[in-house]
Amino acid sequence: MKTILIKSVAAVSLAFLASAAAAQQAAAAGDAAEAHKKIAMCEGCHGIPGYKTAYPVVYHVPKLGGQSREYITNALNAYKSGQRKHPSMLGIAASLTDKDIADLAAYYADGYKPGGAHK
Name the H helices within the chain.
2-29, 32-35, 40-46, 69-81, 87-94, 98-109
pLDDT of residue 67: 92
How confident is residue 112, by pLDDT bands cut at 50, 70 and 90?
Answer: low
Q: Please give the residue that has the higher pLDDT: either 59 or 91.
A: 91
What are the pLDDT digits (tens) for 41-76?
999 899 888 898 887 788 889 889 989 999 999 999
User: What CA–CA distance (Å, rounded) separates 5 from 82?
Assistant: 48
Check whether 25 has a pLDDT greater than 50: no
Instruction: Please name the amino acid found at residue 71.
Output: Y
Nearest to 59 by CA among 78, 45, 44: 45
How confident is residue 24, by pLDDT bands cut at 50, 70 and 90?
Answer: very low
Length of the chain: 119
pLDDT of residue 115: 54
